[in-house]
Structure formats: structure tokens, C-alpha cells
Amino acid sequence: MTSYSGHSTAGFVDVLIIGAGHSGLAMSYRLSEKSIEHVILERHEVANSWFSERWESFRLLTPNWQSCLPGYRYCGANPDGFMSRNEIVDFIKRYAAYSQAPVVTHTRVCSVEAVSSGYLVHTDQGTWRARCIVIATGAFNRPVVPKIGAVVPGNVRQLTAHDYKNPDRLDEGGVLVIGASATGIQFADEISRSGRPVTLAVGEHVRIPRRYRGRDIQFWMQLCGLLDTRYDEIDDLERARRVPSPQLVGTDDFRSLDLNSLKRDGVRLTGRLAGMRDGKALFSGSLRNVCKLADLKMNRLLETIDHWIQESGYDEGCSRTERFAPTEVDPYPCLETDLASGEIETVIWATGFRPDYSWLHVPVLNRHGELRHAGGIVDSPGMYVLGLPFLRRRKSSFIHGVADDARDLCEHLVGYLDTMSTPLKLAV
């Protein structure tokens, strides 16, 4: 034993789930179905990060009718709406109560290490021992800020997607939003509406309309089976796992939010932030191409949907095929902006997130610090992960995507426990 030996022994259990968000709770439900003894450790409260690590206007990108977890689904009055932070937390907390999940709150996992036939989990409330570990800590623990952030002039305030709460908390001056995924375009949109001049640096992005042929785009993607595409049946899984979140916003008027609408509202579009020189932010000259790629990709998606609708005979009563205007790029897109001039007072990094595995002291990370896993089965016996992008299916990182993944992984886990012939001995 290590320096943790001073802590009390908290317990031993077959399966320890780390994180009581929708993923951890879904796994707990599946384990209960199979009568597998387990405990969920949660550093704060159930569904903590949905509230504390999101901006105020945050809403789910999927409509309410799509929100379902194993044995549970949305039953509210607004199936086509999009949950706010509070509503998501409510939804998940009600699920935890409904499923009687064995959650131990306010228990932070400090370290997980492998021992013979299991794992030692050191927390700030004592040490657990478990045969299996399910990592359900989410994919969005740490905002990614590129190295270039270190050379942004000191007069400019820098925020991450975890720091940003609402436009009113920003200085009055110009704002440079870096990144045009769902997060970046939503920031650009609401900050621009607050009257501040906004520049949006656009790299590769995914453009999709909110509604298509009279339905939410998620409806078609689900119906066509696109969301069920499995991790072991696509060409380039690594790339699929890095695809940024699509340019969507969930609002009461179901509007699409894309670069054209932002531009119309006065947002200045530039290429990807490519460098800093003499206090100037330099933008890539690739804006046209990333917009073209996104337009082409969107049209391929719409063609897939049209094709499916035609083949399935679904087109009765559904509105006609639509195509959307190509993304407009200025004849001379802005290539640099002087950050020292005061024109830009705030830079917001909407450049993605990564999980935090600093507590995981088992050699299962690759050179990029990502978990080595095959569809959620981590490269260490009895260890599993849930809730990462394209973990097992395209829908894996959605709330509704975890049900199937948890079922598959639970099945594997049960098989693993069956192979462990020796009973668990308390070794702490």
C-alpha cells in the first residue's frame, strides 16, 4: 500500500462506476438488471458538470423526445423542445431516483491503480477495491486551448468554454471566438446579439440544418440509421472520433444557426487562427475551403436522407427536398487582426474539450493521453469507459446513445466477472 494507507477502507464491490452523469447512471441501471453489485462515485452531485461546466443559455442539441435512458424517457409536455441546463440536471436526477442508483456523492476519485484481480480506487473519503471499473467521467472535462494561447497579448482577456457564462459578463469591446462547432457558433451568436463586435475564426466544421423536410434533423439521422453506425464498421474511426459537434442550436423557434446567418447578423468570419506575430492574430487562408468541405458534406447528408425517404416510402406527407445556400465568404476575408490595438478585448476558446485522466494510474493511455479501448472495453482487464464520441456508435456521446453502449458493455463485463474464478479478497 502507498501513502493512501492512512485513509479508511470505504468498501469493496464488484463494479465501481466513476461519475454519476447520464452514462454512469445508465450503466448502473444495466448492472442492476443483471443483479451485479456496484457503486457509483460522484465528486459533487448527480449531473454536476451539466450545470457547473456549461454556459447559461446552454441547451441540448437533441430534441426532448430523443432523450431517453435505459428504462426511462422524456415524458414532458414539449417533446420537440430542447432541454436547458436546469432541465437536463432535473431529468438526470429524476433518473437517478427512479433507478435507485447507488450513488455516493461528494467523493472525489484521486487515483485508480491496478492490483491483482482488480483495482484500488483512492478517494478523498477512503479507499475502495473493485473487480471492475467503469469510467463515466465524460468527454468534456478540460477545455482545450492551443499552445498559441500562451502568446496572446496580456491586454486581452482569455476565456474557455468552461469560463464563459453569458455576454453580460464580458467587457464591452470586441470578442474573438475561436472555433465554429456548436459551442463556438452559439457563443458568437449570443455575444453578437449583445451588441459586441464578434470575429469568429472558422476551421473545419460540420454544417447541418436544424430542420429538414418538416422534421428535426435528428429525427432523420436516427431514422436513417446514421446514428447507429458502429465503431467497427467505419473506415477511419480516429477521424470520426475527432469530428467537431455540428453547427446546431436548440431554440424555441427551431432556427438553424450557420455561418451565413451569423454573417448576416454582423459576425466577421475569418479562417482558422493559424499564428500570432507581433501581437497580431493571423488567420489561415483556408476559410473558403473549410466552408466548401462543410457545404459538400451537408449536401451528402441531405442526399442520404432524401434517398432513404424515397426508398422507405416515407415521403407521403413529408415536405419537399430542400437545399440550402452555399456558405458565403467575403471576397477578401480578414487575414489578421491586431490584438494589441484594443479592438479585441476578449478571446474565447471554443476549440474543443478533452477528458481528464490525471487520476488514472493504470497504463491505458496512448501518446495523446487518450484511453486505449475497443468500443469502450479498455485495454486493462475489467475496465470500461462510456460516453466518449463514437465510442461504439455514432450516437455514443448523445444522452440517448448510452443505452445501447451500456447494454453491450454490461454484457461484456458480466462475462468478465464470470471468468474470475477466485472470490474477491479484501487486500486493503
Partner 1 sequence: MDTQKVHIDNGVDIDAIIGARETLTAAPEAAQFVWRANSEWMGGTHTRASVEKFFGLGEEQQHRKRFTYDTDHPEIFASQDNGSTPVEFVLVGLAGCLTAGIATVAQNRRIQLRRVEATIEAGMDLQGILGIDSQVRNGFDRVKAHFDVDADATQEEIEALVAQSQKRSAVFDVITSPTDVQVEVSKSQ
Rule CB under 8 A: which residues touch partner 1? Answer: 204, 271-272, 274-275, 277, 282, 284-286, 289-290, 292-293, 296, 299-300, 332, 367
Q: Shortest gap between Cβ of 223 and partner 1 (angstroms)?
A: 24
Which CB, 320 or 367, lies closer to partner 1?
Answer: 367
Q: What are phi and psi of 29, to 5 degrees?
A: -60, -45
Are the beta carbons of 40 and 102 closer than 8 angstroms? yes
Q: Shortest gap between Cβ of 237 and partner 1 (angstroms)?
A: 12
Which CB, 69 or 178, lies closer to partner 1?
Answer: 178
Q: Taking the C-alpha atoms of 253, 259, 265 and 268 in order, what is their torsion angle to the nearest 10 degrees? A: 160
Which CB, 292 or 361, lies closer to partner 1?
Answer: 292
Which CB, 110 or 335, lies closer to partner 1?
Answer: 335
Q: Shortest gap between Cβ of 292 and partner 1 (angstroms)?
A: 5
Which CB, 118 or 271, lies closer to partner 1?
Answer: 271
Chain centroid to CA 319: how far? 32
Which CB, 62 or 284, lies closer to partner 1?
Answer: 284
Q: Shortest gap between Cβ of 275 and partner 1 (angstroms)?
A: 4
Q: Look up residue 356 and give its three cell numbers.
A: 481528464
Q: Look up residue 112 and give its three cell numbers.
A: 485508480
Return the closest-CA partner of residue 272 out of 257, 255, 293: 293
The DSSP string of 74-111 is: --SS-TTS--BHHHHHHHHHHHHHHTT--EE-S--EEE
Mention every residue, 6+ apart, whose C-beta is less than 8 A from residue 365.
357, 371, 372
Return the closest-CA partner of residue 237 out of 43, 416, 370: 370
Which CB, 290 or 309, lies closer to partner 1?
Answer: 290
Is the dihedral angle over the CA atoms 21, 58, 252, 218 positive or is it negative?
Answer: negative
* Placement of cell 457563443 in the chain: 187
Q: How far, in Å, CA of 191 to CA of 176, rounded?
A: 10
Q: Shortest gap between Cβ of 329 and partner 1 (angstroms)?
A: 12
Q: Shortest gap between Cβ of 207 and partner 1 (angstroms)?
A: 13
One-letter amino acid of 2 = T
DSSP 3-state of 50: helix
Q: Shortest gap between Cβ of 277 and partner 1 (angstroms)?
A: 6
